[in-house]
Chains A and B, each alone.
Chain A
Amino acid sequence: MMIRHHTLAGLPDSRPTLPKARSHISLGQVADEALFTIAENLRRAAFAMIGVAVGVAAILAVAGLTASASAAVLLGFNTDQARRIDVSPSSESAQSTLILTDDQQHSLRNLPGVVAAGTIDQIGAVSISTLPFWIDPDGAQDTTLLGVSSDVVHAAGCELLTGRWLLGADGSHYSEVVLGDGLAELLGVTSAADGRIVYIASDPYAVTGVVHCKYSGINLTDSAMILYLAADGDRGPSAPEHLLISTESAWTNQVRSAVGLLLDPNQTGSVQVSGPPDYAAIREAVAGDINGLYLALGGVALLVATIGIVNTRLMAVIERVPEIGLRRALGATRTAIGVQFLLESAGIGLVGGLIGTAMGLATVVLVSLSQSWPPTIDLRLAGLAPLAGLLLGSIAGAYPAWRASRFEPVAALRAAG
């Protein structure tokens, strides 16, 4: 039965005492509530999410496209070229240097990493035709006659489109010629199987093959190539302009210095040894170019995303002032309110980051494919991108969350209006 307390003279000592600060909402429960609230206000949250997503996607896309474009540039240098050493005499007087002694040839062939070595000598400009000059005086084409050693086919990265390469010293080599693919087309020679005859400076030669060569130091495409041995008498002493050495890729640099010593042991500077282009430098240059763009674009995207999320979060706070008042009335501390708003922003940032990562990856793949670049992306970067979104959301959400935590319960409740 109930007793009128205020008439009691003395109250029992067993009255309940005030609860202590012990039990209160946990971080996990605040996180739950934050998640619930995001789901509830998904349409509003979507704006902030898109902001973050665009920022993250832009950064990922730029980074990914940079990588893809560099990869494409590197692919563009053909690997054949990357492994070739080109030796040429540094002056007219030094031309004979490239006429290798047997010893030198032997040493060269036995250098570790050397795949093939061959010389090219530009014999001179000649006219070439498929019919003798006296039958068809207008059918002649101008070309360059090259005297090559038999290994050039490998050293210059040549591919036989038809027929065979020049045979070695079997006695018939004087009258055999191989045409560059450009010249063959000009002459209408598409097949060498039937022993086509061409006339070079009115001498008949049998076409044994047509080649396409990757070496670009000399125009091989539009030239006619005949075997030219050092001992050849009737054309005068051979004076090769180029010694081409193809190497195994890991050995290129070692071979390069060894060849320098081999051909010019006294370091007189008589030969010029050029190796493949410096790929590290090229890569750096490409990356440097795009890095500036990358930073600028990424910075702008980040700034826009941050401003966007701060703005939408501040609007959300203002819209939810009565709710904040209610939560305070229901026992929320300032901290609980602040943390909830912060976690909401972080969650929005994380979701935005995930969406942005997907968007960014898709962009890299689609653009790369359309440019026929190999899609290249740093997986660590892709893994960090959603976390970057989370961080962005947290940073941008900090001030709005602080604002939310500052409302006094009564003032906030009144705002319901």
Chain B
Amino acid sequence: MAVKKTGQNQPHSWLELSAINRSFGARIHALRAVNLRLELGESYSIIGPSGSGKSTLLNIIGLLDRPSGGHYWLQGVDTTQVSDAQISRWRCQLFGFVFQDFHLLARRSVIENVMLGALYTGISRAQRWRRANDLIGVVGLKGRTNDPVGQLSGGERQRVAIARALINEPKLLLCDEPTGNLDSVAADGITQLILNCVSPQTAVIIVTHDQQLAARCRSSWVVRDGQVSPNLSIMTSSETAFTASGSPVTPGAR
């Protein structure tokens, strides 16, 4: 049974990590006492040196991995108390993943790969096909719908992956170095595509080594040695952008 968060005056955030630890064996502490809040409609970046724990953090947020200690509240429900089957279902109902190395099924066509994203929600094949077809247009691969993904360039493959991640209309799009394998031109297009996904009902988190990319997100965190802190420099630029325009800014539109 999910446990409701109690003794809280403030309404809970959409997602909240509190004192999260993740260790591998006795010696590797990939995350230490991480506290973090996340709201829909936002864009977040996570930067930090290699091996600092960025991917581990993203995997825990995306319910791909489970913390060794601490609490992870999702809309006020403590996910650490929830069954693996329920967690699996939330993965497709709430999250979309974009990986550095795409993770496409090489033998399948573009549309089959996108459709796979909604396989486990149980919607009909026809419905999946329709949604996938629409999304292929959105990510700009209209002419490639039935091509095997093996024939696509890296940038095009990442577009397929993004379409797949969006097919269930996720609340949160999690991207782990989505442009890590791409040249700067392709990277730019992908970044734009991802940031365009931010909507009042959708948030985006991007793990990146690219300071400029990180700066394009509304908020930013730095991970060092398994500890998370706000990325002040980028926060500042974000705040500046916000105050300078004088009105709310949709990050994707920047």
Q: Interface of A with B (CB < 8 Å)?
A: 1-6, 10-11, 15-19, 21, 23-26, 29, 32-33, 40, 322-323, 325-336, 408-410, 413, 416
Contacts and interface: CB of A to CB of B under 8 A. Distances in A.
- B interface residue count range (under 10 / 10 to 19 / 20 to 34 / 35 or more): 35 or more
B101 interface: yes
A21 B89 contact: yes
Interface in B103-147: 103, 105, 107-108, 116-117, 119-123, 125
B64 A409 contact: yes
Contacts of B123: 23
A416 B41 contact: no
Nearest to B199: A2
Given A2-B41, A5-B39, A329-B91, A24 B121 contact: yes
A409 B99 CA distance: 13
Given A6-B39, A333-B85, A413-B99, A19 B90 contact: yes
B121 to A, nearest CB: 6
Interface of B: 2, 11, 13-14, 37, 39-42, 59, 62, 64-65, 74-75, 77, 84-86, 88-94, 97, 99, 101, 103, 105, 107-108, 116-117, 119-123, 125, 164, 168, 200, 219, 242, 248-250
Specify which of B105, B119, B250 lies most central, judged by the most chain A CB atoms within 10 Å of its CB.
B119
A4 B241 CA distance: 13
B75 A26 contact: no
Given A24-B89, A332-B120, A410 B41 contact: no
Given A5-B40, A40-B107, A33 B121 contact: no
A361 B62 CA distance: 55
B248 A4 contact: yes
Contact of B122 (A1, A29, A323): A29
Contacts of B85: 21, 333-335
Contact of B120 (A15, A322, A331): A331
B94 A19 contact: yes
B62 to A, nearest CB: 8
16 contacts: A5-B14, A6-B37, A15-B14, A16-B75, A18-B77, A23-B122, A24-B121, A325-B103, A328-B91, A329-B64, A330-B119, A330-B164, A331-B93, A333-B88, A409-B91, A410-B65
Contacts of A21: 85-86, 89
Given A25-B119, A328-B91, 16 more contacts: A1-B248, A10-B11, A18-B75, A19-B89, A24-B89, A24-B120, A29-B119, A29-B122, A327-B116, A331-B93, A331-B168, A332-B120, A333-B120, A409-B65, A413-B64, A413-B103
